Amino acid sequence: MTEAAPAAGKPAILLVEDDVITRRLIARQLRRAGYAVEEATDGVEALERIREKFFPILITDWEMPQMDGPTLCRKVRELELEGYVYSLLLTARQGKEHLIEGLEAGADDYLTKPPHEPELMARLKTGARIVALEQSLRAANERNRKLSITDALTGAYNRRYFNEQLPAEIERCRRYQHPLSIVMGDIDFFKKINDGYGHGAGDEVLGQFVQLTKRSIRATSDWIARYGGEEFVIVMPETGHAGALQATEKVRAAIAADPFATAAGGIPVTASFGVATLLPNGEGGGQTIDQLIAAADARLYASKHGGRNRVTGE
């Protein structure tokens, strides 16, 4: 019988067995059932493979050189992985005290060697259900976490995230001796937009402002939060003052380039910005978070009073 191609939705398996004949036999059974299988010859090799790649299911022999199955299960449980690893222990031992030892080490289930193929597949179905449930719960928790730190209207981070994350960014700046820049931005004449086109159009403008800003900054490190109303703050880690001014000018130009398309029609939009930078020695925007924000806010105020649609950094 030929081996089936790995089936979509079936979790990948790492099979750990030092006996080559047993390992090949079990691997053939697993692949025939549609599982994607990778093989390791002992616990040390398996642990290294798990550190490099996530395997939702681990099938391991008990008796192996260098590192046995229970020790491998215990060490896997100590790792910080992207998801839960369902561990199935294969053993020739019969005593309950040995099985308890394996389960206490972190194994989820066990089978007596050589494993009976239908029973092995039944245990794997159980393991796959547990893995799928854990992944579903993890995804739901991540969605809830994102909702708790995201402004629902614009998709930017909210004020709570800003208040929690900025101190961490500043601490990282000082620890690694890198500059940090923040930008206060405000949509010009936003009240006139709401009054003239309606609050629905105003909401669309806010959302498009955030999306244009996100496309104009570094997705891997920079981030934007809604500070309040039509005012936003952009955080640029590892960015000096000259770089921040250049990046903010790119944002300003993108906002002003074309009217925003809304249900009420095209709306010309501009924004004003103030930039402050904290250097690793504490210079630039002040020694504290409040001083850094105040410096950026004062420069935003200068942009407003200097004619709007501009970036001020001094």
Catalytic residues: 230
Pair 237, 222: CB distance under 8 Å: yes
| Residue 276 structure tokens | 């402050």
> Which candidate, 144, 188, 184, 147, places its Cα nearest to that of 166?
184
What is the DSSP annotation of 34-88? T--EEEESSHHHHHHHHHHS--SEEEEESS-SSS-HHHHHHHHHHS--SS--EEE
The single-letter code of the amino acid at 306 is: G
- Can you list the alpha helix ranges (DSSP code H) found in 198-288? 199-216, 241-257
Distance CA 111, CA 26 (A): 12
Pair 163, 229: CB distance under 8 Å: no
CB-count exposure of residue 82 (10 Å: 0-12, 13-18, 19+): exposed
Bridge pairing between strands 265-267 and 260-262 = antiparallel
